Amino acid sequence: MSTAAYQVIARKWRPQTFDDVVGQDHVVRTLRNAIARGRIAHAYLFVGPRGTGKTSTARIFAKALNCTDGPKADFDPADPACLSIAAGSHLDVIEIDGASNNGVDQVRDLRDTVQYSPAQGKFKIYIIDEVHMLSAQAFNALLKTLEEPPSHVKFVFATTDPQKVLPTIISRCQRFDLKPIPAPLIVERLQRIATAEGIEITDTALACIARMADGGMRDAQSIFDQMISFCGTKIAESDVLDVYGLVAGETLAALAAALAAGNHQEIVRIVDECDAGGRDLARLLTDLQGLIRDALLEAVAKGGRSPRLGGVSLTTEQLTRMLDVLRQGEDSVKLGLSDKINLEVTLLKAVDASRARAIDSLLRELAALTAELPPGSTPAEDGSGDEKKKP
């Protein structure tokens, strides 16, 4: 294949129908029902982290509305209208980058064009990506049109930062929050892509890529693409670890177990080993917090204790304090002069925090002891805990 014809995996495997959208069933179901029941709103707002399918879902929704025999949710992706939407050449589906077209003049131009009837499809659809980048003046210019648009006009907005979108804009839209995609679904999708592309990749390597992606399918596909360039058609876990400086799952589990057991020497040894191997220590701290969070959730679900970290039974209170110290140490590890030293200090502080008695628990115990004493007496008067006086 020539380099001119090559298409990156994230674009080649971009979702083209509702069935292709991964991990956003609540959004897909609502849009399908709206189309089937003829309850299509005039404005939608898709909110979510990068790579979760906001723009892809907007394009698929546009296909469903403007396909040849639509609107219908189960459209034919090979339909000429759908192909032109996918190619970005459909006259009635206008995609606008909010970051580069954020001025009031551009929005006024848009406001003038909405009055014209569709040229090809049933609706004129405006997809505005990164809508939070619009200026306040641009938002205000859009308000009236967004409140009472012509019946043939639909707006679909996408943003990663809804706090920057004016509440008056949000109130005029149906809002959909797209969630980070769970790692198992990312692994499943990448496995399908690998099979279709003729790539051999281990399950542990796929798990590492999903961990790196942080819930973003596009990020996972981009990482996978880079690993193909690095390794060819066979990818192992060690390759992913070396390229991205990740720590192996077994090493993370061993560090978490040492943390739970309070084994200072083992903690320092593992950190030394990771640093010598060129691993990303800031990422190690992030992944370690994920393991401890899993243990905390297990403790909450199972009566207040979890043996998940190396078989050491820790209470929710211990896990919470440990997780809090690790969270507080993030900035020092990422921004400090020595990430290794700062990580070691953070981990050792977490051990001490998990073994310290919380003030509130001591107060509760003291209150319970006081309640057991006779009325009007004090621990000293009761004589408990005092040595008998010598005659």
pLDDT tens-digit profile, the chain (391 residues): 445 578 899 999 999 999 999 999 999 999 999 999 999 999 999 999 999 999 999 999 999 999 998 899 999 999 999 999 999 999 999 999 888 877 788 888 888 889 899 998 899 999 999 999 988 888 888 888 888 889 999 999 999 999 999 999 999 999 999 999 999 999 999 999 999 999 999 999 999 999 999 999 999 999 999 999 999 999 999 999 999 988 988 899 999 999 999 999 999 999 999 999 889 999 999 999 999 999 999 999 988 888 888 888 888 888 999 999 999 998 889 887 788 999 999 999 999 888 876 566 677 778 888 877 776 666 555 555 454 444 4
CATH says 249-355 is which class? mainly alpha
d(CA 210, CA 204): 10
Query: Residues 160, 165, 167, 173: is their CA dihedral positive or negative?
Result: negative
State the virtual CA torsion across 24, 29, 30, 35 in degrees, nearest 10: 130
Contacts 24+ apart (CB under 8 A), 267-275: 267/344, 267/347, 267/348, 267/351, 268/344, 271/340, 271/343, 271/344, 271/347, 272/340, 274/247, 275/340
SS3 content of the chain, % helix, strand, coil (to 5): 60, 10, 35
The reply to whether 183-244 shares the fold of 8-177 is no
Query: Residues 108, 114, 119, 124: is their CA dihedral positive or negative?
Result: positive
d(CA 101, CA 336): 38
> Which residue matches tokens 């639509």?
70
Q: Is the peptide bond preceding residue 77 cis, with omega within 30 degrees of 0?
A: no
Domain boundaries, given as residue ranges, for the chain: 8-177, 183-244, 249-355
The answer to whether the beta carbons of residues 285 and 329 sit under 8 Å apart is: yes
Q: pTM for the full model? A: 0.81
The upper half-sphere exposure of residue 41, i.e. CA atoms within 13 Å in the direction of its Cβ, equals 18
Nearest C-alpha neighbor of 16 from the set 79, 71, 70? 79
d(CA 391, CA 388): 9
The upper half-sphere exposure of residue 314, i.e. CA atoms within 13 Å in the direction of its Cβ, equals 32
User: 8-177, superfamily in CATH?
Assistant: P-loop containing nucleotide triphosphate hydrolases (3.40.50.300)
The answer to whether the beta carbons of residues 208 and 241 sit under 8 Å apart is: yes
The CATH fold assigned to 183-244 is: Helicase, Ruva Protein; domain 3 (1.10.8)
211: CB partners within 8 A, 6+ apart: 183, 246, 287
